[in-house]
């Protein structure tokens, strides 16, 4: 096969309709034709730009939040510093540069990066060559140490399943072949699980519900470690407290397109359901906060003003535009949200607020939480 589309069509013809999650996984991570095997996926020459690629301020401020959390938890002498899906290593580079001003923290940190793409791993190793780093393809079971973990635009790229409500049942969407082309299909038998059962109260006939069970499992593993051994996690992504509707999207050359056009050449993602990440974590979690509010609380405007003093001309214009793009409600400031996990009865990481210490977990149902638009936060 010369392309991923032909390979997937042949596989479906031989084996029947494919789960949507399997299709997404193949499109993104196929060892030969997968999207992340491309040389360039970030920035102007790629298909999308993440916050760390826009300005160094993003990584610097998140680093300061982690640093203060480490201090609040007693400045432990041995910790694990981890990033999930580090991209080109830009954010970790900015964070580690910031930590150099606090050598005690950097000395305590054992750095781990979780990256499934061999191409991106090579880029990260080049960029972060001065540091002693351990790479993993999947989140490992860490030693019993404080874990400080960052995941920026990571969960949106994890494969999801979609379910269409018909009456009081949900039917899983699949990928099938019709007239030689890929398209959505639907399983004949309904899917039954408590994640879907609890959505009968807030959905109607014809609604689509998205579930990312791999994200829920990851959050559970991370949260249980943090609750037992200390640390904190910061998740930043686009999405909301509870997912509703079809948010699956594909981007090519910075433009949206059909998810079945040119498999392997598209960045495929879906909005993150932060409710599942929070309530399945098994530890305390913050109120969901918009990226703009988080960065303002951490002092981005003051930092931007200080950096601007040494800039002029196009460099200054670019700097001002970066600040706006990261924080303005009509840019990334509102669509991107942030959630922090931390041990029960511990201080909330700086930048986050209205901390919730909860024993709620998924045990067959979720108590719907109310919404608040105060300060760009939702509960």
* Domain assignment present for 114: yes
The pLDDT of residue 379 is 33
**CATH number (domain holding residue 281):** 3.40.50.12710
Domain that holds residue 257: 51-154+221-378
DSSP-assigned letters across all residues of 64-126: HHHHHHHHHTT--SSEEEEEES-TTSHHHHHHHHHHTTSHHHHHHEEEEEE---HHHHHHHHH
For every residue of 302-370, DSSP letters joined together read HHHHHHHTT--HHHHHHHHHHHHHHH-TTTHHHHEEEEEEE-TTSPPPTT--S-B------SS---PPP
Q: Decide if 59 contacts 94 (C-beta within 8 A).
A: yes
Strand-pairing partners, residue 133, are 111
Asked if residue 83 is part of any domain, the answer here is yes
Q: Please count the structural domains in the chain.
A: 1
Identify whether 113 is part of a domain: yes
Q: Hey, is 22 helix, strand or coil?
A: helix
Instruction: Quote the CA–CA distance of 52 and 59 in Å, as a whole number.
Output: 6
The reported pLDDT for the residue numbered 1 is 57
Amino acid 359: pLDDT: 46
| Orientation angle between helical segments 90-99 and 56-72, nearest 10 degrees | 50
**Contact present, 284 and 355 (Cβ < 8 Å):** yes
pLDDT in tens, the chain (379 residues): 578 999 999 999 999 999 999 999 999 988 888 888 765 665 555 555 788 899 899 999 999 999 999 999 999 999 999 999 999 999 999 999 999 999 999 999 999 999 988 889 999 999 999 999 999 999 999 999 999 999 999 999 999 999 999 999 999 999 999 999 999 999 999 999 888 998 999 999 999 999 999 999 999 999 999 999 999 999 999 999 998 899 999 988 778 899 998 899 888 999 999 999 999 999 999 999 999 999 999 999 999 999 999 999 999 999 999 999 999 999 998 999 999 999 998 999 999 986 554 544 444 333 322 233 333 443 3
Q: Is 134 contained in some domain? A: yes
Asked if residue 98 is part of any domain, the answer here is: yes
Asked if the structure places residue 45 within a domain, the reply is no
Q: Is 210 contained in some domain?
A: no
Cα separation, 173 vs 171, whole angstroms: 6
Whether 186 maps to a domain, the answer reads no
- Rounded Cα distance, 12 and 20, in Å: 12
């Amino acid at each position: 096969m010369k392309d991923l589309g032909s390979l997937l069509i042949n596989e479906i013809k031989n084996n029947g309709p494919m789960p949507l999650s399997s299709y997404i996984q193949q499109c993104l991570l196929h060892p030969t034709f997968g999207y992340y095997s491309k040389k360039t996926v970030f920035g102007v020459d790629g298909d999308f730009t993440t916050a760390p690629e826009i300005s160094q301020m993003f990584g610097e401020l998140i680093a300061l939040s982690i640093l203060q959390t480490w201090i609040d938890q007693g400045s432990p002498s041995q910790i694990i510093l981890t990033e999930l899906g580090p991209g080109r290593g830009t954010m970790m580079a900015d964070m580690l540069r910031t930590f150099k001003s606090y050598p005690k923290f950097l000395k305590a940190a054992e750095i781990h990066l979780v990256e499934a793409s061999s191409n991106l791993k090579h880029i990260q190793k080049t960029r972060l060559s001065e540091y002693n780093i351990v790479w993993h393809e999947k989140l490992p079971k860490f030693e019993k140490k404080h874990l400080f973990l960052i995941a920026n635009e990571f969960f949106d790229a994890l494969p999801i399943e979609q379910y269409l409500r018909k009456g009081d049942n949900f039917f899983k969407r699949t990928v099938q072949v019709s007239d030689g082309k890929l398209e959505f299909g639907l399983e004949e038998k309904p899917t039954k699980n408590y994640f879907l059962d609890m959505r009968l109260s807030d959905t109607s006939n014809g609604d689509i519900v998205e579930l990312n069970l791999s994200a829920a499992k990851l959050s559970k593993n991370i949260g249980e470690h943090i609750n037992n051994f200390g640390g904190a996690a910061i998740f930043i992504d686009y999405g909301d407290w509870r997912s509703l509707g079809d948010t699956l999207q594909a981007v090519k050359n910075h433009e949206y397109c059909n998810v079945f056009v040119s498999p392997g050449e598209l960045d495929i993602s879906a909005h993150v359901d932060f409710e599942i990440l929070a309530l399945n974590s098994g530890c305390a979690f913050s109120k969901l906060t918009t990226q703009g509010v988080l960065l303002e609380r951490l002092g981005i405007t003051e930092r931007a003003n200080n950096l601007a003093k040494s800039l002029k001309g196009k460099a200054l214009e670019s700097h001002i535009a970066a600040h706006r793009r990261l924080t303005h409600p009509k840019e990334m400031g509102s669509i991107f949200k942030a959630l922090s996990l931390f041990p029960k009865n511990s201080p909330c990481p700086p930048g986050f607020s209205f901390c919730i210490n909860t024993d709620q977990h998924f045990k067959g149902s979720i108590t719907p939480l109310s919404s608040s638009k105060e300060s760009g936060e939702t509960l």
